Structure 1
Amino acid sequence: MLNDDSQSLFDIRRLALLVEVVEQGSITSAAELMMYTPSAVSQQLRKLEQEVGQPLLNRRSRGVVPTEAGQVLAGHARKIVEQMLAAQADLAQIAGLKRGSLAVGTFPTLAGSFLPLVIRVFKKRYPAIGLSVRSARFDELVSDLQSGVTGLCLLWDYPWNRFQDDAIRVTEVFQESTVLLVSRSHPLADRDEVRMEELSKESWIVRAEAHPVVEVLKRSAHDAGFEPSIGFLANDYQEAQAMVSVGMGVAMVPRTAVALQHPDVKVISLGDDAPLRRVLLAQRQDKVYAPAEVAFQSTLMELANKHAGDYL
């Protein structure tokens, strides 16, 4: 603790100037970097020397070198300046998380399963952030992200069609398997696992409008040596489950699609050959990420690590 004969706390700006002068070896160079005039730097350093009570710099014809006291004080000053910068950054982040808004894009199956878990935790931690979520089709999600309508979005892809866009950075959140849905009265309902080769005679319920799950089914069926027979086109997965429950056919769906499972539907594993879908967090490459976006990503990945096994 400083005694009554000591100077009060040093001025942080003068300490920063000292560090820069020592590192540059020149008052003029330091002044240019710090956007001061050389005379202003010299004046501030003289005041610092008065505070210290001893010389800090030896002036020479080609610059300056620190005295022993200057070297010691500059060493401490570097740590102080770094800590102050870190404090400013932390305070700026906290301020950013106490106001503002965040728009997130997602797709329906995730909005009806995993994402609400993330939103619940995020809103509890950051109640002042206005969070909006838009569920849309894949091309709309990408367009919204590129145009800045959303700050980040959740996408998906399969091994045969990996998402790639040089302007967008993606992070894998988790992988989910594809499962088989049958009615509780189906002959296979007592099984825990079925292979695609056993399903060649089944009638299939799929999503309408060329939904990607149709390609998943056809690829899996072709690999198993048969052409699937489509018996019903559903508008959404709840409708698909309802049709499965009454014996209209069987269905292949990503596991998140049965987060709300129909009571008369049995979910069966398709084994190691089941197609895996990646769930991705997408962000623009050229964007400076706001504190709220960083906080959402952190919460998302934390929950993903906790629940990833639920979807395999």
Structure 2
Amino acid sequence: MIDLQGLRALVAVDRAGSVVAAADQLGYTPSAVSQQVKKLERDLDAVLLERRGRGVLLTERGRTLASEGRELLVGLERLEAVAASGARPTAPLRIASFSTATRGLLGPVLGELRDAGAAVLATVTSVDPVEAMAMVASGSADLAVVHNWNSVPLIAPSHVATEHVCHDEADVVLSVDHPLAGRDELERADLVDEAWASTPKGAICHEALMRIFADLDSIPRVVAEDPDFASLIELARQGVAIALVPRLGRSALPEGVVARPLADHSQVRDIRVAYRRSMAESAGIRRAVRLLLDAGRRVEASAIA
């Protein structure tokens, strides 16, 4: 009989490209993942991984088993979701989200998930959307709240479904003493030579900023990087730089700064919820998605008001 834990480990190594990356996705140590694959090798009397330099590669038999095993695991997950669709969820729903969505969307959703009528335990991890999508794809998260900037698309793997939650526009935050602070809207061309505060390189919000002047043959001059938007706002208040800050989850701006939209309203994020298609019949997933869609409608209604 094939050991499912070992099969999951092998599929994760195949998908992630290394034992270390697979361990990170599965929430195990690299040693544990290696041991799980070795047990599978012993059970099957076959070599599935071969060492190459400091890494590993799947053998031909390992690749075949991983390919077939991936379909088997998806089928098992789908079967488990259907079997549990009418039952009271017991396992915690693992949610991956980006920080502003955790603040601006998930708070009320978590409260409703845990109400007396349909209690669903949930854990939330705040990570960048690229990592959140990878967590859902690999099975280390059940649900993810992610975003697509119109200039930086986030691609969902074929076995992951996504649904639109809401739109979120980003404003330019700048000191009240800035020469452009008195305008109702800002032209991108007027911001080409400005100093910017941004989230770190590699984050989707940073990439969105990098592309904001692409059609103007310019790259934003970033003088400060910080993962916390509150820090970027403070740098703007002090006149050190200006910052592109989304509205979702944004706290009330302190005195001394203003937020102004771009005149072309080009910096808009599409907020989406992602889950594996094999989990579409899960009662916990369906309820969480429904609550997120309701929360998204409230966010968009408040933006219009």
- Per the normalisation by structure 1, the TM-score is 0.63
Show the counterpart of 1:9. Answer: none
Gaps of 5+ in 2: 1-83
Q: Deviations over 1:15-72 (max 9, x none)?
A: xxxxxxxxxxxxxxxxxxxxxxxxxxxxxxxxxxxxxxxxxxxxxxxxxxxxxxxxxx
Equivalence for 1:101: 92
Measured against aligned partners, the alpha-carbon deviations of 1:191-224 in whole angstroms (never above 9, x if no partner) come to 2211111112311111123322232223222324
Paired position in structure 1 for 2:300: 308
Report the equivalent of 1:43.
Answer: none
The residue that corresponds to 1:158 in the other structure is 149
Structure-2 separation of matches of 1:164 and 1:151: 14
**Alignment check: 8 A CA contact 1:177 1:311 kept:** no
Query: Which residues of 2 match residues 198-209 of structure 1 at below 5 A?
Result: 198-209=190-201
* The structure with more radius of gyration: 1
Report sequence identity in percent.
Answer: 20
Matched residue pairs, number? Answer: 220
Q: Which amino acid aligns with 1:264?
A: G
Q: Please identify, of 259-268 and 172-181, the stretch whose mean Cα deviation from structure 2 is larger.
A: 259-268
Match of 2:250 among 258, 263, 267: 258
1:194 partner SS: coil
* Secondary structure of the structure 1 residue equivalent to 2:278: coil
1:311 CA displacement: 5.3
CA offsets, 1:220-266, max 9 Å, x none? 22324533222222232111111111000111122225235333321
**2:145·2:273 contact (CA, 8 Å) conserved in 1?**
yes
The answer for the alignment partner of 2:28 in structure 1 is: none
Structure-2 change in CA distance of 1:190 and 1:118 (3 Å)? farther
**How far, CA to CA, are the matches of 1:225 and 1:281 in structure 2?**
34
How far 1:93 moved relative to its partner?
A: 5.9
Q: Partners of 2:268 and 2:109 in 1: how far apart?
A: 22
1: CA distance between counterparts of 2:301 and 2:251? 14
Is the aligned partner of 1:124 residue 2:115? Answer: yes
Question: RMSD of aligned C-alpha atoms?
Answer: 2.4
Distance 1:234 1:174 in 2: 26
Shifted more, 165-174 versus 120-129: the winner is 120-129
Deviation per CA, 1:85-131, whole angstroms, max 9, x where unpaired? Answer: xxxxxxx867415x543221111121122221322333336563212
Q: Which runs of 4+ in 1 moved over 6 A?
A: none
Give the 3 Å change call, closer, same or farther, for CA 151–182 of structure 1 in structure 2.
same
Q: State the distance in 2 between where 1:148 and 1:162 align.
A: 18
Equivalent position SS for 1:104: strand
* Counterpart Cα distance in 1 of 2:91 and 2:204: 36
DSSP-derived class of the 1:166 partner: coil
1:235 equivalent among 227, 244, 257: 227
Q: What does residue 22 of structure 2 align with?
A: none
Change (3 A) 1:127 1:263: farther
Change in Cα spacing, 1:131 to 1:191, as seen in structure 2 (3 Å) is same
Aligned match for 2:288, one of 293, 296, 299: 296
Residue of structure 2 equivalent to 1:141 = 132
Q: Report the residue type matching 2:96 in the other structure.
A: G
Q: Take 2:106 and 2:254, find their aligned partners in 1: how far apart are those partners?
A: 20
* CA-CA distance at 1:284 after TM superposition: 0.5
Q: Equivalent residue of 1:256, what SS?
A: coil
Are positions 1:190 and 2:182 aligned together? yes
Rounded to whole Å, the distance in 1 between the matches of 2:249 and 2:87 is: 38
Question: Please, what TM-score do these two structures have when normalized by structure 2?
Answer: 0.64
Task: Give the distance between the partners of 1:257 and 1:287, measured in 2 at CA.
Answer: 28
Gaps of at least 5 residues in structure 1 are: 1-91
